[in-house]
Structures are given as C-alpha cells and as structure tokens.
C-alpha cells in the first residue's frame, strides 16, 4: 500500500514489519514501481515504533495487536503524528465464513 501511495500521490514514508519476507517483498515492489527513493522498510516490531519526525499520516492495516487492540493502536500511532495529522486503521475480516481451515491458511 505504501508503495502504491508513493507512486500515485508522490508521498514518502516508512513501513515497519516484523516479517523479513514482507519487508523484502515491499522493497522489491518499491523498486518495481520506481519509488525506492521515497519509501523505507524497517524490519522490526511495530509494537513500540514511533517516527523520528512527526508525520502527516500514521497507518496500521491488519495489525492492531501492535497496540493491544484498536484503542492502544490509536494511541501508539498518535505518538508519531504532527498536530492535525491523520490516523488510518483497518482490519481484515471475512465477508462470509470460509469453507474450511485450508482456505483460511491459504
């Protein structure tokens, strides 16, 4: 998502993920989209991550466990925001129950 925003809106940003698989894929995607100079991907635990400089937008998609739930995640993201900045939080959900556990794990 960060790479697409960088391409489509000319923004810069930092993505934090505990998975080296995800950070490696994100770096490859940034290169593919020509935005590698606009984005940085950090391998780390986002549970305590606070940006070095205040940001316009702090987002958490599918990982509100980083703040112990939605309220804690709002607080955590807020520590990185400049006054008047925006927080974006999203969680995935099933639109209909999956047929079996194999579908869940796929």
**Do residues 68 and 91 both lie within one domain?**
yes
**Do residues 60 and 31 both lie within one domain?**
no
**Do residues 31 and 57 both lie within one domain?**
no
pLDDT (tens digit, 9 = 90+) per residue, 48-83?
899 999 999 999 999 999 999 999 999 999 999 999
> In Å, how far are 71, 93, 94, 96, 103 from 99, measured between CA atoms?
32, 15, 11, 9, 7
Give the pLDDT band of residue 103 (cuts 50, 70, 90): confident
Show the domain range for 25.
1-44
**Do residues 1 and 35 both lie within one domain?**
yes
Largest CA distance in the chain: 46
**Do residues 37 and 70 both lie within one domain?**
no
DSSP, collapsed to helix, strand or coil, labels residue 19 as: coil
pLDDT tops 80 at residue 105: no
**Do residues 24 and 52 both lie within one domain?**
no
Domain count, the chain: 2
Angle, vertex CA 85, rays to CA 81 and CA 89, nearest 5: 80
Final residue belonging to a domain, choices 11, 28, 44? 44
């Amino acid at each position: 998502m960060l790479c697409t925003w960088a391409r489509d809106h000319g923004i810069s940003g930092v993505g934090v993920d505990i998975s080296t698989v995800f950070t490696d894929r994100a770096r490859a995607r940034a290169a593919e989209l020509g935005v590698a100079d606009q984005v940085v991907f950090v391998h780390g635990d986002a549970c305590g991550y606070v940006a070095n400089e205040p940001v316009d937008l702090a987002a958490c998609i599918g990982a509100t466990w980083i703040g112990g739930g939605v309220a804690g995640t709002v607080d955590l993201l807020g520590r990185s925001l400049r006054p008047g900045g925006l927080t974006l939080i999203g969680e995935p959900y099933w639109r209909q129950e999956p047929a079996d556990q194999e579908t869940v794990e796929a």
